[in-house]
Amino acid sequence: MASRDLEARPQRWPAALLIAGVASLLPQPAVREALSVLEGGLLTARRLVDPMAWRRVAQAAQPPAGGPDRSPDRFIVELLATARARVIPDSSEGWQRDGRFCGVTLGRVRSPSSLSVASAGPLPPGEPAFHGRELVGFTSSSASDDRPRIVPLRAKGTRLSACAGAPGKREARFLALGDGSELLRVAYADRDVAIEEGDLAWAIDPLAPTGGAVTRIVGGALLGRIVRGDAPRGSDRDDWRVAPLTPLAELAELAIRHPPGFPGPSEASFVPLAAEARHEALVDARRDGLLLPKGRESGVVEGCAVSAGPWWIGRVVRAGWGASIVRTVRDPGLTCPVLVISRGEIRAFALSTAEVRGADVRLEAAPPFADCDGAVVVTAPGPEGVPEGLLVGTLHRDDLGWFLTAGPAAAEAVVVHRPPGAWGERE
């Protein structure tokens, strides 16, 4: 009977948190106030039993050998700058106008009708979104959108004036229409100029609404290559389509012009908070996490990144009053949006931990690059409290698949990255 109780004991802690989390969805203020007190008691129960445990020194693992001679944070900044230089359009193309381009990281939601943006602030409405010289879409101009997003060119109902062929030699004008599929439809094409498969397609700017000169907004931006559609054989006309140069799933960042006075997405500053962490196995020995003696009273909320020096340790998954729970990169099932940098290219990737074997963190899915052995993985920015560029580790491959060589397994002195204004005046 005693052994049976010991086996069931680890399951009571997450069950209580689950009940508290479900009940916290109720809108009644009295219920929320009671749950706040209960949640703080649950998260700090073990701290009250063993208060001296917070001062134990955790054994931190050494960073992986063979790294660069420079400090990792400076090395990451230079890698991001090199990769981002291929995203930001050249100002000589004429798209700069008044303002400047900023690199915006894309979120997880990616569909032909919408692209979510991991931006702490709003985006200027109706601005074109570029990836180098390629036009991907426009920022949403709808005032009802509560989160910043980008409407791709292939979204249903979009239309754009375009040309296909060889610039300056053979130019066939047409109207590029989005129908919700992966390809743009070619409509109302010039009959005097032939369109051939494999032609390059680019955007052109129409005249100003008042009949004035052409404003250089998207003119000359690349759209993709001409491919054949699914028209039936024997049809009297060609069904041409425009295939994008870069699939949406492989995009990590887009460049958006921010007018003067509009804050860029990288200008959202986080408020760091130093804390002493206690390394703790969550639920059972196979889990890995940290306990922090800081909670909502200090502005710590769910999603905040926790780092030790330049290394990303994990993120807060539960924040109570006076204590918080952190899941580390070595905790199976942890998922975090990251950026993979390989040979000057940068792509978004949802890093998910499958299992931990020794010092290796095995991944659930293969990384976005076909050959990225030795690629650097850093955190993608998030408005909930994740700065860009914290070093997660390096990717490697063996007979068992892909694994991550991460940083310290545990650390006593950590920094919690808090979003500004995350707590109210009452708290």
Q: Which residue has the tokens 């109207």?
A: 175
CATH of the domain at 227: 2.40.10.350
Residue 230's domain spans which residues?
159-243
Q: Which residue has the tokens 């860009």?
A: 388
Q: Which region, left, alpha or beta, applies to residue 318 given φ > 0 means left and ψ of -120 to 50 means alpha?
A: beta
Query: Any residues with CB less than 8 A from the CB of 69 and at least 6 apart, and which?
Result: none
R_g (Cα) of the chain, nearest Å: 26
> How many structural domains is the chain composed of?
2
Q: What does the pLDDT read at residue 55?
A: 43
- CA dist list (Å): 318 to 158, 194, 283, 295, 321: 42, 61, 14, 9, 10
Q: Sign of the CA dihedral 294, 298, 304, 306? A: negative
Q: Note whether residue 90 is domain-resident.
A: no
Q: Note whether residue 313 is domain-resident.
A: no
What is the distance between the alpha carbons of residues 211 and 392, in angstroms, rounded to a whole number? 53
What is the distance between the alpha carbons of residues 342 and 92, in angstroms, rounded to a whole number? 27
Q: Which long-range contacts (CB under 8 A, 24 or more apart) does 10-13 make?
A: 10/283, 10/284, 11/283, 13/42, 13/283
Q: Note whether residue 24 is domain-resident.
A: yes
What is the distance between the alpha carbons of residues 73 and 376, in angstroms, rounded to a whole number? 12
Q: What does the pLDDT read at residue 10?
A: 45
Give the Cβ contact number of residue 139 at 10 Å. Answer: 23
Q: Note whether residue 216 is domain-resident.
A: yes
Q: Note whether residue 358 is domain-resident.
A: no
Cα angle value 44/46/49 (rounded, 5°): 110
What is the distance between the alpha carbons of residues 148 and 97, in angstroms, rounded to a whole number? 22
- CA dist list (Å): 317 to 81, 325, 390: 31, 6, 18
Phi, psi values for residue 283, rounded to 5°: 70, -60
CA atoms within a 13 Å half-sphere pointing along the CA-CB vector of 48: 7
Give the number of residues written for the chain: 427
Query: Any residues with CB less than 8 A from the CB of 73 and at least 6 apart, and which?
Result: 309, 310, 389, 391
Residue from 8, 72, 13, 17 nearest 39 by CA: 17
Confirm if 251 and 136 have CB atoms less than 8 A apart: yes
Structure tokens at 20: 């508290």
Give the Cβ contact number of residue 149 at 10 Å. Answer: 21
- pLDDT single digits (tens) 367-411: 877 778 888 999 988 877 888 889 998 898 888 888 888 887 767
Q: What does the pLDDT read at residue 111?
A: 83
Q: Note whether residue 208 is domain-resident.
A: yes
Confirm if 159 and 175 have CB atoms less than 8 A apart: yes
CA 113 to chain centre: 18
Confirm if 175 and 161 have CB atoms less than 8 A apart: yes
Q: Note whether residue 357 is domain-resident.
A: no
Give the Cβ contact number of residue 57 at 10 Å. Answer: 10
Q: Sign of the CA dihedral 261, 262, 267, 269? A: positive
Whole-model pTM: value is 0.70
Q: Note whether residue 304 is domain-resident.
A: no
Residue from 363, 355, 415, 357 nearest 393 by CA: 363
Q: What does the pLDDT read at residue 427?
A: 43
Q: What does the pLDDT read at residue 215?
A: 63
Tell me which residues of the chain have a pLDDT lower than 50. Answer: 1-12, 52-71, 424-427
What is the distance between the alpha carbons of residues 31 and 36, in angstroms, rounded to a whole number? 9
Confirm if 154 and 244 have CB atoms less than 8 A apart: yes
- pLDDT single digits (tens) 200-250: 999 998 766 655 555 668 888 999 999 988 766 656 677 899 999 988 888
What is the distance between the alpha carbons of residues 389 and 382, in angstroms, rounded to a whole number? 11
Q: Which region, left, alpha or beta, applies to residue 303 given φ > 0 means left and ψ of -120 to 50 means alpha?
A: left
